[in-house]
């Protein structure tokens, strides 16, 4: 290209500074048939970053099950997954990370994470109806943990509340591996009529290309590359890479998009998230086998003297790229004018597959669209991996070396106050959970969030789940547990699992031990998703989650957060709380003599790392099948899965809603601490009314199911093996106040 604004050739050192390697720089020169200029090099650096290209993960991601009758779009081909709900409705849903921005600037990092995931949903034509989030912070004793929590929670709350979409659930956990690098994973789900789907595609030579929404500024430049770097002591210097959000502007953009979806004015639309104009123009063009000519002078800007590469790479929020059918430009402008939003034509579709960006009447960059994107010319790597030494060491854990407690009441109270087990109401009270009046689980808690599909007899179920301690102990089994627990939560609530999205958080992929964790997580997810018929609709891979300091890297625990949706009849909704005194308490599944990776082992014996708890996928599937049938046959009053904290915390959570208690007997065949506090999987506690007991027993015996009677519900007293542990009021107070006391201390 002879008429570029900058004919100065980019150098290898510039490529290295932008996160590319020597081989990639050579590949760029071969693709272009010349040296790139700095603008072109910047474009390649963001589009070939891990965040955009998945170059270190796509080989393994492609092994996940991605097909099913419920799938309406192919995994990864649109802004979010899209699943058929029947009744001419579809659900768009996705989860993504905003880890590094939140580590550096917790408020805006978390806020723009919420904004970005909601834009992915409504850009497809779906109205967001519910949000969840999965948050991981460092040790409670770490000097920065409280500040990070406060900033992240306020950012999520302020943006989500202003935008008007309820936060209906989530999870918050603490571990020292997240001391510097927290994880902020945001999930959003939206509902749409199937015929209003908007694709992220460009086609039709001569069709107009518009930028809509907010003006473009210098915030977020090289944000995608920033997300593909280590967190270091100097990461605060990258603060300009953190975007700044405006939820009120996003609300206007939502309503304009919803109005646009009712008409046949456009070809496609895509959110401008990572890599801004570059990403949306290249991905849309590659999807439609076309090109674009873009005039950067026409882009609405909120800062003067922006360079061409700054405009192209800006990740300013609340913007989208829209390809408009020729002749409908004024129709589209009218809609965005109505909502007082920018709507400016900045280019047109071409048929040559080439992206051309102009500024000041000069061609500043010229690149084939296909070479920039995943599945096109972006590099694909298979990294070396090896089993870490720690893995075999953890398998040697033996419960017999752990001394049994002498004071179980003391242990019970301590667990109830654990920040990984107690109520996170301090967090959730800052989120509006009732806006839109669709939340069906706030006043009647269930294992998953439940929202009302108005105008139908159906409800949508959703959950986010992962126990990273389990995954670290055994990545394959831990990932299987994460998928299974998500399915278990939906089944216990009365739904049928449909599909998943995932946010895969790991350390540096160039570390063979980290990559071994990643590979085995994929293998575990694949096996579990196939078992539950929950295809993967898409998601996000977030590498480089670690602390780099003093020439060492400390990765976070591998954290494959599973976002799952399910569908069910409203009449079959099941809550987790006990309903009345004298109801019988049964355990479905089998308890093992197992305390591996339990919160009890960590908090009471100071053993943070140990073997993964017992898990068998076939057992899990059978238990879930039984629970689903029990609910459909109206044979149980409540259902609540046993997870972190074991049986005791399960029973406590089931008791608190109506201030009831429980009287149970432990098994003489097992250690008492394993029975009460162990976290062996595939176990669900149900309550049964006395009048339904015979039918319940007949059903269980007919199905040859593993179950046992634990005891019965009381008026409020907690009794175990005839020992009084206290009243529910005491434990409820501990459970509900521990988190706020920690924050305020």
In whole angstroms, what is the distance from residue 354 CA to residue 43 CA? 14
The answer to whether residues 574 and 653 touch, using CB atoms and an 8 Å cutoff, is no
**236 class by beta-carbon count within 10 Å (0-12 exposed, 13-18 middle, 19+ buried):** exposed
Given 51, 222, 577, 692, the catalytic residue: 51
Question: Rounded CA gap, 500 and 529, in Å?
Answer: 8
**Sheet of strand 723-727, all strands in order from the earlier edge strand to the far edge:** 638-641, 684-688, 584-588, 707-714, 661-664, 717-720, 723-727
Look at the alpha carbons of 123, 251, 167, 236 in this order and tell me if their dihedral is positive or negative: positive
Distances (CA, A) of 374 to 51, 125, 282, 312, 351: 11, 24, 10, 19, 20
Task: Quote the CA–CA distance of 231 and 388 in Å, as a whole number.
Answer: 22
Residue 51 designated active-site: yes
Contacts of 33 (CB under 8 A, 6+ apart): none
Q: Which two tokens stand for residue 222?
A: 């090289």
Look up residue 314 and give its two tokens: 């800006």
Q: How far is CA 345 from CA 111, 141, 348, 659, in A?
A: 29, 53, 8, 61
Degrees to nearest 5, angle at CA 9 with 8 and 10:
120
Residues with Cβ within 8 Å of 383's Cβ and at least 6 positions away in sequence, in order, are 56, 509, 510, 512, 515
Q: Are 210 and 322 in contact (CB under 8 A)?
A: yes
The encoded tokens of residue 508 equal: 């540096």
Residue 234, C-beta contacts closer than 8 angstroms, at least 6 positions apart: none
CB 357 within 8 A of CB 310: no
98 is catalytic: yes
Active centre residues (catalytic):
51, 98
């Amino acid at each position: 290209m002879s008429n570029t604004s900058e004919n100065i050739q980019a150098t290898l050192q510039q490529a290295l500074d932008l996160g590319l390697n020597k081989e990639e720089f050579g590949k760029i020169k071969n693709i272009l048939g010349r040296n790139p200029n700095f603008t072109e090099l910047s474009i390649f650096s963001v589009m070939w970053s891990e965040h955009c290209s998945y170059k270190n993960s796509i080989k393994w991601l492609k092994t996940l099950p991605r097909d099913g009758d419920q799938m309406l779009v192919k995994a990864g081909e649109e802004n979010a997954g899209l699943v058929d709900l029947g009744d001419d409705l579809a659900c768009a849903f996705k989860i993504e990370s905003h880890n590094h921005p939140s580590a550096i600037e917790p408020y805006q990092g978390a806020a723009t994470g919420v904004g970005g995931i909601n834009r992915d949903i409504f850009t497809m034509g779906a109205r967001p109806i519910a949000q969840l989030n999965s948050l991981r912070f460092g040790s409670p004793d770490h000097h920065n943990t409280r500040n990070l929590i406060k900033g992240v929670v306020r950012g999520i709350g302020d943006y989500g509340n202003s935008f008007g979409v309820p936060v209906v659930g989530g999870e918050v956990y603490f571990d020292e591996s997240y001391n510097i690098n927290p994880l902020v994973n945001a999930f959003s789900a939206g509902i749409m009529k199937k015929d209003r789907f908007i694709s992220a595609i460009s086609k039709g030579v001569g069709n107009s290309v518009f930028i809509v929404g907010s003006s473009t500024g210098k915030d977020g430049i090289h944000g995608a590359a920033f997300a593909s770097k280590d967190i270091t002591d100097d990461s605060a210097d990258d603060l300009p890479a953190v975007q700044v959000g405006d939820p009120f502007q996003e609300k206007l953009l939502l309503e304009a998009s919803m109005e646009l979806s009712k008409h046949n004015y456009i070809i496609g639309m895509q959110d401008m998230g990572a890599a801004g104009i570059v990403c949306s123009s290249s991905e849309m063009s590659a999807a439609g086998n076309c090109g674009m000519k873009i005039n950067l002078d026409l882009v609405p800007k909120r800062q003067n003297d922006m360079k061409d590469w700054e405009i192209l790479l800006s990740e300013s929020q609340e913007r989208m790229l829209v390809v408009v059918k020729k002749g409908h430009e004024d129709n589209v402008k009218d809609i965005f004018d109505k909502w007082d939003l920018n709507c400016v034509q900045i280019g047109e579709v071409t048929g040559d597959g080439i992206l051309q960006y102009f500024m000041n009447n000069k061609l500043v960059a010229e690149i084939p669209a296909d070479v920039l994107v995943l599945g096109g010319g972006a590099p694909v790597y298979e990294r070396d991996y090896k089993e870490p030494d720690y893995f075999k060491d953890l398998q040697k854990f033996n419960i017999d070396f752990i001394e049994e407690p002498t004071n179980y009441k003391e242990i019970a109270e301590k667990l109830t106050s654990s920040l990984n087990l107690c109520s996170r109401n301090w967090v959730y009270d800052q989120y509006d959970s009732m806006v839109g009046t669709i939340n069906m689980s706030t006043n009647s808690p269930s294992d998953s969030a439940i929202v009302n599909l108005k105008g139908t007899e159906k409800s949508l179920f959703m959950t986010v789940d992962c126990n990273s301690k389990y995954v670290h102990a055994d990545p394959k089994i831990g990932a299987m547990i994460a998928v299974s627990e998500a399915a278990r939560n939906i089944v216990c609530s009365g739904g049928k699992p449909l599909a998943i999205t995932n946010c895969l958080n790991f350390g540096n992929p160039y570390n063979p031990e980290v990559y071994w964790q990643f590979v085995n997580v994929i293998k575990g997810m694949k096996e579990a998703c196939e078992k539950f018929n929950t295809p993967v609709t898409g998601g996000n891979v977030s590498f480089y989650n670690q602390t780099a300091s003093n020439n060492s890297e400390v990765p976070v625990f591998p954290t494959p957060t599973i976002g799952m949706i399910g569908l069910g009849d409203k009449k079959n909704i099941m809550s987790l709380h006990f309903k009345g005194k004298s109801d019988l308490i049964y355990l479905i599944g089998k308890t093992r003599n197992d305390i591996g990776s339990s919160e009890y082992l960590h908090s009471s014996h100071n053993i943070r790392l140990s073997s993964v708890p017992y898990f068998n996928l076939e057992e899990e599937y059978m238990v879930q099948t039984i629970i689903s049938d029990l609910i459909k046959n109206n044979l149980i009053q409540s259902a609540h899965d046993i997870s972190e904290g074991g049986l005791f915390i399960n029973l406590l959570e089931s008791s608190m809603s109506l201030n009831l208690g429980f009287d149970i007997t432990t098994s003489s065949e097992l250690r008492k601490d394993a029975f009460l506090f162990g976290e062996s999987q595939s176990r669900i506690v149900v309550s049964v009314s006395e009048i339904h007991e015979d039918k319940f027993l007949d059903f269980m015996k007919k199905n040859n199911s593993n179950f046992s009677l634990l005891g019965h519900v009381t008026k409020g007293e907690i009794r175990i093996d005839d020992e009084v542990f206290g009243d529910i009021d005491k434990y409820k107070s501990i459970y509900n106040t521990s988190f706020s006391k920690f924050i305020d201390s």
